[in-house]
A = this chain, B = another copy of it.
Amino acid sequence: MDRLSVLTNILKANQEIATENRRLFEKEGTLVINLMSAPGAGKTSLLEATVRALGGHYRLAVFDGDFETDLDSQRIRALGTRSHRITNGSVCHLDARMVARALTEFPVEGLDLLVIENVGNLICPASYDLGESLRVVICCVAEGAEKPKKYAVMFHKADVVLLNKTDLATASGIDLRELEKNVREVNAKATVFAVSCKTGVGLDAWVAWLRDAIVSRRIAEVARC
């Protein structure tokens, strides 16, 4: 069997499990986010800000794909939110089977929002559906304005793109309008937020958008019952 056939089979098997995961999440009325970015773009910082804003109002949990350390999970648990670490040795992405296995240990029953923090990688995670409701991609502005074009598959498949660390834009010599234009070139439909998890700028708009998405998912579940 050649490498392409092996990959095709892996992705087909992944899709079947992802469809099962998605069915379960929809049945429970849980909004599930697959959170992806390059290393150090701010996934955990965004999660901390989101938990602080919504943790008192909704039932939240996090699946953490940091396979080498427990640092990210510790940060989330310090805020009183449940966090379950997915440990799979040295892998470059999460897949639907890992999420399905985590669900047997950590059921989502009654959760409003589950965020799956993927492995820090702008390439491999883009190919693996986990059963999520939304794909959210964070781009650190210090990475450079051309990154959406260079990692086009990841940005093309995103439902939401957050341009993070806008407080470093001037020092990094980055034109935010050019960066957003490059996002639009590979994905005209994505919702884009410019934020700084450090200063808090722009986070209100993201939190309001996410609150609406959680409520919409809950209404859809009630309507189905």
Whether A159 sits at the interface, judged by CB under 8 Å, is no
Whether A124 sits at the interface, judged by CB under 8 Å, is yes
Contacts of A151 in B (CB 8 A): 39, 68, 120
In the complex, the count of this chain's copies comes to 2
A141 to chain B, nearest CB (A): 9
Name the interface residues of A136-158: CB closer than 8 Å to any CB of B: 140, 142-144, 146-147, 149-153
**Contact: A71 with B146, CB < 8 Å?**
yes
A173 to B140, CA, bound (A): 15
A115 to chain B, nearest CB (A): 18
Whether A217 sits at the interface, judged by CB under 8 Å, is no
Chain A contact residues, majority secondary structure = loop
Name the interface residues of A65-86: CB closer than 8 Å to any CB of B: 66, 68-69, 71
**Would you give the 0/1 interface string for A109-143, flagging 1 where the beta carbon is closer than 8 Å to chain B?**
00000000001111110000000000000001011
Whether A198 sits at the interface, judged by CB under 8 Å, is yes
Whether A90 sits at the interface, judged by CB under 8 Å, is yes
A66 to B174, CA, bound (A): 21
Which of A23-31, A54-62, A164-172, A207-215 forms part of the interface with chain B? A164-172
Whether A200 sits at the interface, judged by CB under 8 Å, is no
A219 to B147, CA, bound (A): 40
Whether A92 sits at the interface, judged by CB under 8 Å, is yes
A96 to chain B, nearest CB (A): 14
12 A-B pairs (CB sep. < 8 Å): A3-B6, A38-B40, A39-B122, A40-B142, A40-B143, A40-B147, A66-B150, A71-B150, A119-B123, A140-B143, A167-B171, A168-B171
If A40-B143, A40-B144, A90-B153 are given as contacts, then 9 extra A-B residue pairs at C-beta distance below 8 Å, sorted by A number, are: A3-B10, A6-B6, A38-B39, A66-B150, A68-B150, A71-B146, A92-B121, A142-B165, A168-B168
